[in-house]
Amino acid sequence: MAIKRTGMEGSFAIAEAIKLARVEAVAAYPITPQTHIVERLAEFVANGELDAEYIPVESEHSAMSACLGTSAVGARTFTATASQGLELMHEVLYVASGLRLPIVMTVANRALSAPLSIWTDHSDAMATRDCGWIQIFAENAQQAFDLTLCAFRIAEDPIVLLPTMFHIDGFYVSHTIESVEFLEQEVVDKFLPEYRHPYPLDPDKPVTIGAFGPPFIYTEAKKAHEAALRSSKKVILRVWQEFSKLSGRHYSPVESYKAEDADVLLLCMGSFSETAMMAIDKMQAEGQKVGLIRLRLWRPFPTEELRQAVSKAQVLIILDRALSLGGTPPVCSEIQAALYPLKTRPKIVSFVGSLGGREISAQGFEEVIRHGVDKAKQGELDEFEIIGVRE
Amino acid sequence: MESLAIYVPRLVTTKEYFAPGHRACMGCGEALAVRLVCKALGRNIIIANATGCMEIVSSPLPSTSWEVPWIHTLFENTAAVASGIEAGIKVLRRKGKYTKRTKVVAMAGDGGTADIGFQALSGVLERGHDLIYICFDNEAYMNTGIQRSSSTPLGASTTTSPAGKVSIGQTTWKKNMPAIAVAHDIPYVATACHSYPFDLMNKISKAIEIKGPSYIHILSVCPTGWRLPSDLTIKAGRLAIETGIFPLYEVEKDRYTLNLDFPQLRPIEDYFKLQGRFRHLSKEITSQIQERVAAEYAKLKKKATSNNY
């Protein structure tokens, strides 16, 4: 059982999880707000606390590329990045998933330039939506610690073998000191056995990895990738269930907060869900039937669980933390697509907010919900609205 | 050197690690160089291969020409991938999960080395990974249809540096990659050419024994891109060396060795006249190039003689 509880910065909690996971290779490049994670890992390696190869590469592109190499020979591999770094890795992400290399990566979510912003939003996460990785959102340091450990179990499962990216909000999670409950090494060792890739690069059993796919085979290869990503959900559920027995902390693809009898639901992702909870608490105390839905699993998209969670509500207010410039905000468009085939579904109100680190307070969330309800009443559902913007 | 060709087939292993049946053009110097490199490397290796001709001709799913473990991922990241493989093996060996002493080899063309993969290569050389990086230099982006790279020699006509009424073709001098590798202060840098197979294989064998990064730059004649009859590949490679355009040399730490020296270099016209890519060059430009070749060769020779004894 869990024993230690310590006040610790989110980044360091993740680094602790990496150490407990006995990660064998880390290739990383500094970028705010991720850097504390890999700095701490470098210290662990330097002090002999973690027996791993630490490759201080010259770019994020090379970070992910080196991870391809370490993972392809069968070493448990981790990296972390954010924002521009994730964008620089972009093409390598598709290779990692297409080659089925179970790399685990933390993304400390941050806005994309221009204008340059080091502060958090989900633009970076959404830009990598289609790269074929498993993608999970954590809201606080504890979740980041837990989900890091789970990420390796999920990624390395022989029927999954897919890279896994988990998102934490830059600064809000990466730099905030929170109370975190840790697990003992023996417990983690039992939960997360040694990693063995079934087809590593090995002169005794030569394999060709990364051959090119002519038109007669490319579609089949991508279909197989799609099927693998979809079917990873049952492994994710199983691993989270097992973890919950171990730690007493439960995780689900779609998590509801006081949403059972709610007519109005707010849906969001990431750390500001916790601020939204305060608004929900207050509004419920005032007798309003409002609840909160947090999307934890982003890829594979949990269509079934989402439908179950929201289909009874009358209004679903979706707060995206990224734009799809010139189109529908990404989370909203995904949810609209998931709910469209249903006979009864809530009215969807789409907001975008908290871009580039702009705060939304608990009171701000109350306003968002009230404004969303008004819009639903008036049938103003055609277009999304950026909230809190100075015109 | 001419008579050595007779003995080569008898003195080299008959085992092929780069299997025949690949889709390289007739007379491809690079495919020949890869084959020789693989013979010299043996089986206890892992290859990371950049996007380019060799990846395309050797690996269409579901077939492969590679009898050794081989990975291709992208164009510009091969050095980084190889560094990951090397680091991965290192930690697995330390933990007793991997027992062999496997050499990691990165292979890329001149575009993948001197242009798009330049940064990743510099990173790997600077970090001192124990691997061999081999550049197969056919002096342009041949896979995409003969576009100029920074390794294309001055005056060569390519599809993106075409010779025209007001252009001589490529207007810049060939980037000196071996010198850049030397500047990283790595233990071993060498140039080679498939037309000198023993020299090439000896250099690979040497690189295997070296701890740390080695950089080997292999001139690989491309009949398709150089506009050259495919039966002249070997001859063209020899002329590149005999004219001093591409000298064969090694740099071990700071020690330069000119592997093949000639009392008198052949005129560069001997090399140029075989190739359509230089056909348009005026006498004036040719003599400018000749001057530069002589000067560069003299510089190299000075380095080789000053620290040899």
pTM (predicted TM-score): 0.96
Q: Quick check: B99 and B89 in contact, CB under 8 A?
A: no
pLDDT > 70? residue B8: no
pLDDT computed for residue A3 by the predictor: 61
Percent of chain A's residues with pLDDT above 70: 99
At B28, the amino acid letter reads: C
Pick the residue of B81, B121, B131 with the most A CBs within 10 A to test the interface with A by mutation: B81
What is the CB neighbour count within 10 angstroms for residue A157?
Answer: 17
Q: Residue A207: its chain B contacts at CB < 8 A? A: 69-70
**Sheet harboring B45-49: ordered strands across?**
A208-209, B70-72, B45-49, B103-109, B131-137, B214-219, B188-193, B249-252, B255-258
pLDDT computed for residue B4 by the predictor: 64
pLDDT computed for residue A4 by the predictor: 73
- In this complex, the residue of B43, B73, B100 whose CB is nearest that of residue A210 is B73
Is residue A264 classed as helix, strand or coil in its secondary structure? strand
User: Residue A7: exposed, middle, or buried by beta-carbon count in 10 A (0-12, 13-18, 19+)?
Assistant: exposed
At B227, the amino acid letter reads: R
pLDDT average, residue stretch B212-218: 98
Pick the residue of A70, A189, A194, A207 with the most B CBs within 10 A to test the interface with B by mutation: A70
pLDDT average, residue stretch B75-101: 97
pLDDT average, residue stretch A22-27: 98
Q: What is the mean pLDDT of chain B?
A: 95
pLDDT > 50? residue A2: no
pLDDT > 60? residue B37: yes
Name the pLDDT band for B11 (thresholds 50, 70, 90): confident
pLDDT > 70? residue B7: no
Q: Quick check: A147 and A251 in contact, CB under 8 A?
A: yes
pLDDT > 60? residue A131: yes
- The Cα of B62 is separated from the nearest Cα of chain A by a number of Å equal to 8
pLDDT > 60? residue A167: yes
d(CA A19, CA A47): 12
pLDDT > 60? residue A1: no
pLDDT computed for residue B1 by the predictor: 52
Name the pLDDT band for A15 (thresholds 50, 70, 90): very high
Which tens digits make up the pLDDT trace of B45-82? 999 999 999 999 999 999 999 999 999 999 999 999 99
pLDDT > 70? residue B309: no
pLDDT computed for residue A389 by the predictor: 93
- In this complex, the residue of A57, A77, A91 whose CB is nearest that of residue B123 is A57
Bridge-based pairing of strands B70-72 and B103-109 is unpaired
**Taking the CA of residue A319 as centre, how many other CA atoms within 13 Å lie in the half-sphere pointing to its CB?**
29
pLDDT > 80? residue A307: yes
Name the pLDDT band for B153 (thresholds 50, 70, 90): very high
Percent of chain B's residues with pLDDT above 70: 96
Nearest CA in chain B to A24: B91
Query: In angstroms, what is the C-alpha Rg of chain A?
Result: 21
d(CA A288, CA A281): 10
Q: Residue A205: its chain B contacts at CB < 8 A? A: 69
- The Cα of B133 is separated from the nearest Cα of chain A by a number of Å equal to 15
pLDDT average, residue stretch A298-327: 97
The ipTM is: 0.97
d(CA B114, CA B151): 7
Which tens digits make up the pLDDT trace of A345-372? 999 999 999 999 999 999 999 999 999 9
